[in-house]
Amino acid sequence: MAKKSASFRFYAQLNDFLSSNKKQKEIKYAFWGTPSVKDAIESLGIPHSEVELILVNNEPVSFNCPIINGDMVGVFPVFRSFDTSGVGIDRGGSIKEFMFVIDANMGKLARLMRMAGFDSLYSSDFEDDQIVSIAQNERRIILTRDVNLLKRGAVIHGYFVRATDPWKQLSEVLLRFDLHHRVKAFKRCLPCNGVLELVDKDEVKDQILAQTARSYQQFFRCSSCGKVYWQGSHYERMNRLLRQLMEEDHRRRIPSRSPDNKLVKPEDHDLKDSINKPMKTPKVHQEH
Ligand SMILES: [Zn+2]
């Protein structure tokens, strides 16, 4: 039996996972038997959690679609402004709200996510198995820089964070999940992720300096660890940096006009063109 082959083309930021000689071009994938399209995509290096839409011979398919000799496969990333509703991958585990579990070596991102108000579990002791089971049981989104973690079969929602700088990582996550309008500072405890509650000054006066009590009127206490917060200079600084980041992200997202006068983001053109243009002559997808 001869080895079979299919052609793959990965779009936009999925190219981040490919070596430079494979980026932005058709890739030949040789195989035996009938692997699923998900297995093929992962063996080419792309974690399934990054994929939003797969077209086999121009037809949207699910992850378990078997690939056959001669298939033309287009693989698209999550692209917020590009509406794939109705044709995108059904992951089978919907997210009720945006809650995260963050990989063990990303403590600074965890603190920044909490600062921005997002429920983000983190421990420097987290093992990969633990992260995957927490994500599964609590319907949390995994944030990691470990591609292999995202390739695990039990992972439903996850994101490979490209940046290494924590503030850039925060910006990347907010953009990826379209979270800017959900940012709410002073909602969570930075070290423990507990929810902050407004408390009377009298209740916390033993835990703060007399000068702090004189200078500030509003105090918050973590419902988990009891740490007391007030909007002092540290808060002011963090809040200013957060506002700056939001403004910069907003500027980067200012829409421009496309030739047909529809509002689109500049980087949308490529993806829209490629999806409107058939990859090659369409072929009927059927078993031989
Ligand atoms: Zn706490």
**b/e string for 158-167 if b means 16 or more Cβ within 10 A?**
bbbbeeeebe
| 268 alpha carbon, distance to own chain's centre | 18
The CA 170 to ligand 1 mean position distance, Å, reads: 21
The CA 94 to ligand 1 mean position distance, Å, reads: 28
The CA 193 to ligand 1 mean position distance, Å, reads: 6
Please return the burial class of 149, using the count of CB atoms within 10 Å of its CB with bins 0-12, 13-18 and 19+: buried
The CA 282 to ligand 1 mean position distance, Å, reads: 56
pLDDT at 80 over 50: yes
Helices (H), the chain: 37-43, 107-115, 128-138, 147-150, 166-176, 201-204, 210-215, 233-252, 268-276
Nearest to 273 by CA among 283, 259, 253, 284: 259
The CA 268 to ligand 1 mean position distance, Å, reads: 41
The CA 113 to ligand 1 mean position distance, Å, reads: 14
Run of H or E residues at 257 = strand 256-257
The CA 120 to ligand 1 mean position distance, Å, reads: 12
Q: Encoding tokens for residue 120?
A: 């983000």
pLDDT at 82 over 50: no
**Predicted confidence band of residue 109 (pLDDT cuts 50, 70, 90):** very high
The CA 207 to ligand 1 mean position distance, Å, reads: 14
Query: In terms of pLDDT, which residue wins out, 92 or 279?
Result: 92
The CA 225 to ligand 1 mean position distance, Å, reads: 4
**Predicted confidence band of residue 264 (pLDDT cuts 50, 70, 90):** very low
DSSP summary character for residue 67: P
Q: Which pLDDT value is given to residue 3? A: 92
pLDDT at 254 over 80: no
The CA 189 to ligand 1 mean position distance, Å, reads: 5
